Structure 1
Amino acid sequence: MRATLAGIGAYLPETVVTNDELAKTIDTSDAWIRERTGIRQRYIAQRHETCAYMGTQAARAALADAGVDAREVDAIILATSTPDQAFPATALRVQAELGAGGFGFDLSAACSGFIYALSMADAMIRVGQVRTVLVIGSEVYSRILNWRDRGTCVLFGDGAGAVLLRAGAEMAEGSGAGKPRGILSTHLHAQGNLGDILYVDGAVGRPDKPGHLVMNGREVFRHAVGRMTEVVDEALAANGVSRAEIDWLVPHQANLRIIEGIGRKLGLPASRVVVTVDRHANTSAASIPLALAEAYADGRIRRGQLILMEALGGGLTWGSALVRF
């Protein structure tokens, strides 16, 4: 029994903010941002577009894609670093809006959150605890940014993505005909002694702090390419799969230079790497499902194909997931 990808959905806020618009309020320029990050715009949530609201819209889209009623959902796992409240969990706000049953909880692993949540859902399906799980990444990073710090505020955006996982033992069709569908394996890592290179300075338990995102970009970049390449190879080795067999790499969308560096290390052409960072910026736990949803909607990702997802985030946390769609 495996966790199969039955549906994919996404939600992006109504407001687009370009680099030129940012340059009107902070000391930056479109050229400066593009050269260093590849980003040209981002989506910024308005007041009504909360973490729960966006997560609900993405979840509804995933359910519709799968043709599944919300009442069939056994669990909701929502990955976020920007919940609407300390409690109840944002996942339960989504549950209420959907009219779903079962249980739900939030998971915090920064930009690796979606991979971590996918792994938790996969494990619960494999042991028979649940059969249908919504896995959501939803983030409103615009609300934890210092908008006077051009080194961080230009990098992030808001949005939500979701997948519906269902227990199944089907074989794939198309390019992967005869091979098992679903999540083949997930691989999670963390190194807490690197927590001070990317963090949020404050939270409910530290009201004396401003609660803004703080990042040592040079150090994050230094660790990102190597760690994410390693965890990709770990997933391939665990399944006896070569790099050449990957149909699509769907990486965390943090920085175009990081994505290109990983692609080069893996020997993958740009045509097999899904990139949305130029339009979405870094949406943290939402970035992988948003990228997955875009490539699925435009027909690039098709049933039977082998998809490799990977991410690195504050903690440091990092991980990968290999999926036969």
Structure 2
Amino acid sequence: MHAVSISGTGVFTPEQTISNAELVAAFNAYADRQNALHADEIERGEREPVPQSDEGFIVKASGIESRYVLDKKGTLDPEIMHPVLPERSDDELSVMAEMALKAATVALEKSGRTAADIDAVICAASNHERAYPAIAIEVQQALGINGFAFDMNIACSSATFGIQAAADMIRSGSARAILMVNPEICSAHLEWRDRDCHFIFGDVCTAVILERADLATAPGRFEIVSTRCLTQFSNNIRNNNGFLRRTREGHMQDRRDMLFRQEGRKVFKQVVPIVIDLILGHLADEDLKPGDLERLWLHQANKGMNDMIGARVLGRTPEKGEQPNILQDYANTSSAGSIIAFSKYSDDLEPGALGVICSFGAGYSAGSVIVRKAA
């Protein structure tokens, strides 16, 4: 069995951003239009008015202040309220593959590797823009990688599950090095017209290079101590569309049940204990204690959720830097969130430092990866 290292990471961030102030202005304009349009029904008590949103509500509910998106114009248009991405022909590179290439290029450079060194590609993400052919195979071809590729989807845990899948293949000897990418176009499955969730998601792509530890040479690499994955079925977070919505005319299917929805309070109450037990059990299995950890890179969904998990795992309030949050700038980027945090806040650790990359979400699903900074 081979030991496995994470030798490089990469993050692609779209150029466009939407602040809370911009988002609230667009949503409230939409709410005013809807309430005026249905004023008679509202007055007769046959229809509930669309409530107003505000910046304070968003920050208190999530800790989010801004988000990156692929299309700002359509998302903020009160008549559209979703991203409008131009249709691409089958001969053009897909949106997800384009994002993945940009993140992968950075990860390859950091790891000191080229496409010739990679044996496989995994595209692990919450929403894929098509059923097949696999986005991963498209990325493989675009980069000129030999070997094999496949897509996988475990919602917000896709990246950590992807790390485990890649690590297991490298441990067994079926691959020397694997590129794992997480192109998340979360803006396309979010219901921007729902006050309770219109602020949650953003777009981004992350990439991770995993390889045999005895072959890794990049400075700042991390050895994977072990991985754990857990799933438990729940309808409390659901997306029935299951794929990226793209329109040329700027119209979308007007069915609330087909887009992202969640029972937020239930998710918080049920998922937090699952994640805490997973991390603590994982540490115990490796004869490690919470005090041995120097960093927690958690899924970036909700600041309150992360703060509680960090405090329960460590047995105290995390000190500044021990549990870095990035969702104030990126919002929830599904599976990519914990990898963004890891990529941005890991270089400062000394050799031998231990940390946990953990993601969790719909499924329910949760993945835990214990890593140690290499000498």
Fold shared by both chains (TM-score > 0.5): yes
User: Which secondary structure state, in structure 2, belongs to the residue aligned with residue 322 of structure 1?
Assistant: strand
Q: Name the structure 1 match of 2:160.
A: 115
Asked if residue 41 in structure 1 is aligned to residue 66 in structure 2, the reply is: yes
Q: Could you say which structure has the larger radius of gyration?
A: 2
In structure 1, stretches of 5+ residues that fail to align are none
Separation (CA, whole Å) in 2 of partners of 1:32 and 1:111: 24
User: Which secondary structure state, in structure 2, belongs to the residue aligned with residue 275 of structure 1?
Assistant: coil
Identity %: 30
CA-to-aligned-CA distance 1:160-200 (integer Å, 9 cap, x gap): 1111011124899x99xxxx9621111111112x1x10010
CA drift of 1:231 comes to: 1.0
CA drift of 1:19 comes to: 0.4
- Shift in CA distance, 92/302, structure 1 to aligned 2, threshold 3 Å: farther
Q: How many residues align?
A: 315
CA-to-aligned-CA distance 1:246-272 (integer Å, 9 cap, x gap): 111000000000010011112333431
Separation (CA, whole Å) in 1 of partners of 2:95 and 2:222: 34
Q: Name the structure 1 match of 2:232.
A: 191
- Shift in CA distance, 203/275, structure 1 to aligned 2, threshold 3 Å: closer
Separation (CA, whole Å) in 2 of partners of 1:25 and 1:302: 45
Matches within 5 A, 1:29-68: 29-46=54-71, 47=85, 50-68=95-113
Separation (CA, whole Å) in 2 of partners of 1:316 and 1:108: 12
Contact 2:191/2:260 (<8 A) preserved: yes
- Shift in CA distance, 35/322, structure 1 to aligned 2, threshold 3 Å: same
Q: Name the structure 1 match of 2:25.
A: 24
Asked if residue 201 in structure 1 is aligned to residue 251 in structure 2, the reply is: no
Separation (CA, whole Å) in 2 of partners of 1:223 and 1:41: 27
Asked if residue 322 in structure 1 is aligned to residue 370 in structure 2, the reply is: yes
Contact 1:201/1:214 (<8 A) preserved: no
CA drift of 1:14 comes to: 0.7
Please state which structure has a larger fraction of its residues in strand: 1
Q: Name the structure 2 match of 1:225.
A: 272
Q: Name the structure 2 match of 1:182.
A: 223
Separation (CA, whole Å) in 1 of partners of 2:62 and 2:55: 11
CA RMSD of aligned residues (A): 2.4
Asked if residue 94 in structure 1 is aligned to residue 116 in structure 2, the reply is: no
Q: Name the structure 2 match of 1:143.
A: 188
Q: Name the structure 2 match of 1:258.
A: 305
Separation (CA, whole Å) in 1 of partners of 2:344 and 2:222: 21
CA drift of 1:302 comes to: 4.9
Separation (CA, whole Å) in 1 of partners of 2:203 and 2:292: 33
Q: Name the structure 2 match of 1:292.
A: 342
TM-score normalised over the length of structure 2: 0.79
- Shift in CA distance, 113/161, structure 1 to aligned 2, threshold 3 Å: same
Asked if residue 271 in structure 1 is aligned to residue 321 in structure 2, the reply is: yes
Contact 1:22/1:28 (<8 A) preserved: no
Matches within 5 A, 1:236-247: 236-247=283-294
Contact 2:100/2:205 (<8 A) preserved: yes
Separation (CA, whole Å) in 2 of partners of 1:277 and 1:79: 20
